[in-house]
């Protein structure tokens, strides 16, 4: 495989589900993050984190021989859905990350996941973070409305090895699906 067959993956999910941890688990170097600054008067004491909203994070894995892997992370909050919707049309696979222990995010996650799947023709991997049991992971993914052909992975994204396992599943799904399976 040459560089012309780079693999692009969208990584998304609700806020605080470890999408950045998933990207960092395979990225060579830091994740490049683009921010949008909020209109906060200089007289108001706020830290930089309160003045900026991450718009997208990009991580790259570039082996010496073979395709590069580009991981595009989008914010999980509703404000990021427009970016997620646009990027899903340009990728080879999608990873949707949900936190098994954050049941308060599952309603929003279900809405986002069902919306994401409309017209999606590339492989979908649902990474259920903070979950060790594949059956529990499948139950959570199904309750959120994951399509039946989605690959579901139980993972612990605090451990980079677990993140790499999720990425391997994404790569396998993208390579098995072949090129040109993007959204119409």
Is the per-residue pLDDT at 75 higher than 80?
no
Q: Which residue has the higher pLDDT, 35 or 145?
A: 145
d(CA 144, CA 121): 19
Higher pLDDT, 63 or 47: 63
| Domain assignment of residue 48, yes or no | yes
Q: Which of 128, 158, 152 shows the shortest CA–CA distance to 24? A: 158
111-150 tens-digit pLDDT: 989 999 998 989 999 999 999 999 999 999 999 999 999 9
DSSP for residue 3: G
What percent of the chain clears pLDDT 90, i.e. is strictly above it?
A: 39
Q: Residue 183 falls within a domain, yes or no? A: no
Let me know if residue 182 belongs to a domain.
Answer: no
The pLDDT of residue 54 is: 56
**Residue matched to tokens 């993140």:** 163
Q: How many Å apart are CA 136 and CA 74, to the nearest integer?
A: 26
> Using an 8 Å Cβ cutoff, are 7 and 62 in contact?
no
Instruction: Using CB atoms within 10 Å of the CB of residue 109, give its burial: 0 to 12 exposed, 13 to 18 middle, 19+ buried.
Output: buried
Does residue 95 fall inside a structural domain?
yes
Confirm whether 139 is domain-assigned: yes
**pLDDT band with cut points at 50, 70 and 90 for residue 179:** low
Q: Which domain holds residue 99?
A: 3-177
Instruction: Tell me the whole-structure pTM to 2 decimals.
Output: 0.82
| Domain presence at residue 184 | no
Query: Does an H or E element contain 35, and which?
Result: strand 32-37
Q: Is residue 160 part of a domain?
A: yes
User: Of the candidates 147, 140, 143, 139, which has an alpha carbon nearest to the alpha carbon of residue 121?
Assistant: 147
Per-residue pLDDT at 180: 58
Give how many domains the chain has, as a whole number.
Answer: 1
- The reply to whether 60 falls in a domain is yes
Backbone phi, psi, residue 14, to 5°: -60, 165
C-alpha pair distances (Å), 58 with each of 22, 67, 72, 74, 76: 11, 16, 5, 9, 15
Contact 141, 127 (CB under 8 A): no
| Domain containing residue 129: CATH number | 3.40.50.300
Which single residue is written with the structure tokens 């984190």?
Answer: 49
């Amino acid at each position: 495989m040459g560089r012309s067959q780079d693999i692009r993956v969208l990584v998304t999910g609700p806020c605080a589900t470890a999408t950045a941890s998933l990207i960092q688990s395979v990225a060579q170097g830091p994740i490049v993050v683009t921010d949008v600054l909020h209109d906060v008067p200089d007289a108001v004491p706020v830290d930089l984190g309160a003045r900026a909203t991450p718009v997208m994070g990009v991580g790259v894995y570039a082996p010496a021989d073979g395709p590069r892997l580009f991981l595009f992370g989008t914010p999980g909050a509703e404000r990021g859905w427009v970016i997620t919707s646009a990027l899903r049309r340009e990728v080879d696979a999608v990873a949707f990350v949900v936190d098994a222990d954050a049941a308060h995010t599952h309603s929003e996650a279900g809405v986002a996941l069902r919306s994401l799947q409309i017209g999606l023709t590339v492989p979908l991997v649902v990474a259920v973070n903070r979950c060790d049991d594949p059956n529990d992971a499948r139950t959570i993914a199904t309750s959120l409305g994951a399509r039946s052909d989605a690959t579901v992975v139980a993972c612990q994204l605090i451990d980079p090895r677990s993140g790499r396992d999720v990425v391997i599943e994404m790569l396998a799904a993208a390579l098995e699906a072949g090129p040109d399976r993007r959204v119409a």
